[in-house]
Every structure is written in C-alpha cells, then in structure tokens.
C-alpha cells in the first residue's frame, strides 16, 4: 500500500500551541511519526541569567499560562532555600490554595479541549463554563485570571479577609456539584468510552523507561504524587486521595484528571477552613548567597523541577527548568504507532500538551 505523509501542525485546529508532526500513514494506520518542538522556544533559561531574582519570578510565570503559579512557586522555594528563609505558614497555605485552584483550572480546561477534539462540544461548553468560576475566584484573589503574580521572595503579596474566604467557599460548593456532574459523564457516557477506551495505551513498564510523571503515569498504575510523597506544609496535614488507575489509556487519564479536580476542590476547602493566622510574607536578605538548590513540585501535569545556582551576584548564574509535559511528549511516537488516523486527535489530546512548558 502506498504510504501517505500527513502533517499535523505547527498550526492545526487540534493544537492549542504550535507543535509539528509528520505522520506516515499506510491506509488509515499510522506507521511512523516524527515530532518537532521548538516553535514557542523563548530561551527562558538564558533570559533568567539577565534578570534579577525578583524579575525572574515574573518571567518564569510566563513559561506556561496554565501552570504559571506553580512555576513561580517552585522557583521561589528554590531561592528561599538558598537564602535560608522560611515563609510564614499563612503565606505557604495561600500559595497552596492557588496551586490547587490552578490544578482544577488546568484539568477543566483540558477536559474541554479533549471533548472538543473528539467532537463532544457539550462537555467542552460545560467544562469551560465551570472553568470560568475558577478563573473568577483566582481573579478575585490575585487580580489576574491566568497570570497571578502572587509570589514574592519570602511569601505572597495577597491576603484574605474572612468575608472573602466565605465567598470563595460558597463558590467552591457550586463548583463541586458541577465537577461531580462532569465526573459522572466521564464514568458513564458511552460515546466518550467508545472514543477513548483502549486508545493510546501506555504500560507501567513504558512509564518507567520514559520516566513519565503526572496523570499520564498515574493512569498507568504508577503511584506517585509529590504532594503526598514529599509532604511539605500544608500538604503534611491535609487529607486527600491520589487517584490511580491501571488501564493506561486515554479514558484512564481522563478519569484521573477529573477525580484529581474533585480532590483539589476538597483541598481548597480544607486550606480555607484551616488558614493559619499571621504574616503572609517575611523579609528576605538583599543578596542571595552563593549555592545551589533543587526544588520539585507537583504541577497539574506532574513533577516540575527547578535547579537554581547562585554565584552571589544579583542575577542567578543558572536556572534550569524541566516541565512535566516533556516526559509525556517523549512517549508520543510509541503511542502513535499503529493508531488509526481518527484516533490521532484522541492520543494527542490525552497527554495534556502544554508546549509552551516543553519549549520554554
């Protein structure tokens, strides 16, 4: 049979961000795929060396639009560790509150995207309507829907009054009901099952070999979550489950993400109910002493790791960022092998692409 080459991207209705694929098809079956990254490469790591530590918080927030807060938080944790500074508990809790809200936002956004890509527009509309609720909460908290600029070195620049806190809790009650509805759809809706079950399967052994993290790994049975495995405050006193499934297909990943969103809403409630009194920020020394720090956090897509080296000047000598999407992207050629052309959209959506994260 003749082989046909089908390009997907860099601009394509499937893709929210530019990414290029060259698929080779035999009939309807993909026999080879070549992927090209780098269309949104902005040279963030190099730019970090030209900016002060505080300026870098705002730069690194823009590595990704959806997980902006967790990037800034991981960076701040690394720099605060270098300075030997401890953020007050109220500040730590507020950071975690935004991390969890961001997780809900990311998963709802993704649910809408994958629903759109399989033609299930109703769920796209519902998920993105509910996402608006989360964005409104984040805007009331920080002033920005997507880019929050909440972190400073030594804590956060926002605070909550009791009235504001109760307003957020009321919104979370409504959000909870809506997400449970979406979870019901994912669990029972036959068209979603037909499109996503058995597609893009990754075994646990492949997860190990490719060092995959996040919901993609958890959907294949890997029981990891940095919030639970390396519990930093406030996660050391909060109760939450980590959803694990073993099917390893796109449906399992959908289940993991929506269940994680449910857990995150519960975490937000717990944080708000037990918010410690006190300062939200602490004064930090003028100069960052020379040294290295390695900081890891659980972003919506998995483990994000920052390596920061200071040489005692006002600008970092090296900031290395590895984002979780990169670990899923490396599995795509294997996932796309022998997949039907019609399932390519499902496979690509299933890994929760965040190309801005991968390219930096």
Partner 1 sequence: MSDFVTRTAEMRELVMNAFVKAFPDEEFAVREVPVNDIVIAVPAGSLAPAVRILVDELGIWHLSTITADDTGDHIHMLYHFWHGSGVTLETQLPLTGSSIETLTGQIPGAAFYEREIFEMFGVVFEGNADLTPLLLPDDWTGPPPMLKSSNGQTESKA
Shortest Cβ distance from residue 39 to partner 1 (Å)? 9
Q: Could you say whether residue 276 binds partner 1 (CB under 8 A)?
A: no
Options 62-70, 168-176, 190-198, 283-291: segment touching partner 1 (CB under 8 A):
283-291
Options 60-68, 184-192, 255-263, 323-331: segment touching partner 1 (CB under 8 A):
323-331
Q: Identify the residue among 303, 336, 344, 353 touching partner 1 (CB under 8 A).
A: 303
Q: Could you say whether residue 47 binds partner 1 (CB under 8 A)?
A: no
Q: Identify the residue among 193, 240, 322, 341 touching partner 1 (CB under 8 A).
A: 322
d(Cα 180, Cα 126) in Å, to the nearest integer?
12
d(Cα 265, Cα 296) in Å, to the nearest integer?
22
Contacts of 319 (CB under 8 A, 6+ apart): 45, 48, 49, 56, 60, 75, 306, 307, 308, 309
Shortest Cβ distance from residue 201 to partner 1 (Å)? 17
d(Cα 105, Cα 150) in Å, to the nearest integer?
17
Size, binding site for partner 1 by CB under 8 A? 46
Q: Which single residue is written with the structure tokens 């449910």?
A: 262
d(Cα 263, Cα 180) in Å, to the nearest integer?
11
Q: Could you say whether residue 311 binds partner 1 (CB under 8 A)?
A: yes
Name residue 309's beta-bridge partners.
292, 318
Alpha helices in the chain (DSSP H): 44-48, 53-61, 68-83, 89-117, 121-142, 162-188, 190-196, 204-210, 214-218, 226-229, 250-273, 325-329, 332-336, 344-350, 355-359
Options 23-31, 251-259, 274-282, 324-332: segment touching partner 1 (CB under 8 A):
324-332
Residues 151 and 76: beta-carbon distance below 8 Å: yes
For partner 1, give the closer residue by CB, 146 or 242.
242
For partner 1, give the closer residue by CB, 42 or 283.
42
Options 6-14, 92-100, 128-136, 223-231: segment touching partner 1 (CB under 8 A):
223-231
d(Cα 226, Cα 213) in Å, to the nearest integer?
10
Q: Could you say whether residue 58 binds partner 1 (CB under 8 A)?
A: no
Q: Could you say whether residue 78 binds partner 1 (CB under 8 A)?
A: yes
Shortest Cβ distance from residue 297 to partner 1 (Å)? 10
Options 102-110, 165-173, 253-261, 292-300: segment touching partner 1 (CB under 8 A):
292-300
Q: Identify the residue among 27, 143, 184, 312 touching partner 1 (CB under 8 A).
A: 312
């Amino acid at each position: 049979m003749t082989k046909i080459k089908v390009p997907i991207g860099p601009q394509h209705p499937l893709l929210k961000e530019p990414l290029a694929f060259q698929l080779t098809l035999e009939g309807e079956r993909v026999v080879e795929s070549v992927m090209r990254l780098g269309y949104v490469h902005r040279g963030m790591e190099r730019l970090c060396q030209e900016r002060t530590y505080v300026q870098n918080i705002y730069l690194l927030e823009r590595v990704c639009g959806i997980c902006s807060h967790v990037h800034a938080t991981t960076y701040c944790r690394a720099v605060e560790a270098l300075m030997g500074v401890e953020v007050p508990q109220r500040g730590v809790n507020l950071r975690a509150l935004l991390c969890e809200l961001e997780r809900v936002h990311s998963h709802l956004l993704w649910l809408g995207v994958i629903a759109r890509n399989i033609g299930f527009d109703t769920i796209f509309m519902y998920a993105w309507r509910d996402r608006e609720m989360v964005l409104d909460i984040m805007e009331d908290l920080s002033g920005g829907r997507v880019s929050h600029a909440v972190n400073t070195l030594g804590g956060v620049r926002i605070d909550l009054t009791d009235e504001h806190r109760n307003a957020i809790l009321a919104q979370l009650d409504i959000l909870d009901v809506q997400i449970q509805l979406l979870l019901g759809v994912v669990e029972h809706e036959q068209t979603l099952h037909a499109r996503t079950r058995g597609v893009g399967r990754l075994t646990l052994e492949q997860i190990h070999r490719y060092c995959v993290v996040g919901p993609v790994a958890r959907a294949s049975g890997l029981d990891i979550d940095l919030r639970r495995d390396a519990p930093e405050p406030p996660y050391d006193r909060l109760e939450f489950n980590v959803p694990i499934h073993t099917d390893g297909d796109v449906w399992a990943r959908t289940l993991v993400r929506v269940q994680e969103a449910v857990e995150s809403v519960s975490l937000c409630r717990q944080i708000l109910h037990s918010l410690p009194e006190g300062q939200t920020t602490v004064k930090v020394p003028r100069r960052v002493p020379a040294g290295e720090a390695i900081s890891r956090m659980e972003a919506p897509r998995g483990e994000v790791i920052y390596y920061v080296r200071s040489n005692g000047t006002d600008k970092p000598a090296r900031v290395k960022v590895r984002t979780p999407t990169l670990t899923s992207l490396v599995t795509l050629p294997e996932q796309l092998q022998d997949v039907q052309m019609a399932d390519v959209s499902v496979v690509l959506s299933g890994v929760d692409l965040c190309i801005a994260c991968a390219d930096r």
